[in-house]
Amino acid sequence: MKQADPLSLDERSFKVYIVHTILSKDTEKAVELICKKFSVRAPSLKIGIPKGQKKALGVYTVESNSIAFRDSEQFFSPFVVLHELYHCIRSSSGSHRGTEKNADNFAISYIDEYNRFARVAQRAHSKRVD
């Protein structure tokens, strides 16, 4: 049976799918899907923060259209990945226009949707077990 195209999912399901994909250690696929959805060029991804940014968990660089993550833990962190992707989406004009608060809210909107889905699934599972 062929799986549905994730881009055809409704917004809530798409957000759940993206977070699940990152947690399943397929960050590259999640990044590609979000970039397709928002019609922006996918950034290159790497582990290792540029000098002078050592406290950051992730850094989006407009000039190279790349996201650098502090370590592999951050590379698979939905919050960090989505936060940096927000900067990528907002920078598609060639200049950085996204605030940290907006980047946080973007990431949290995906994670909140995933958590809502997980709670509903857990309740449904608990009812079947009882």
Give residue-wise pLDDT tens across range 116-130. Answer: 999 998 888 777 655
pLDDT for 123: 83
pLDDT for 87: 94
Please name the residues in contact with 102: beta carbons below 8 A apart, sequence gap of 6 or more. 86, 90
Q: Average per-residue pLDDT in the chain? A: 90
Question: Which one, of 84, 82, 87, lies nearest residue 107 by Cα?
Answer: 82
Of 62 and 78, the structure prediction assigns the larger pLDDT to 78
Q: How many CB atoms lie within 10 A of CB 35?
A: 17
Most confident of 2-6, 54-58, 90-94, 108-112: 108-112
Residue 96 above 70 pLDDT? no
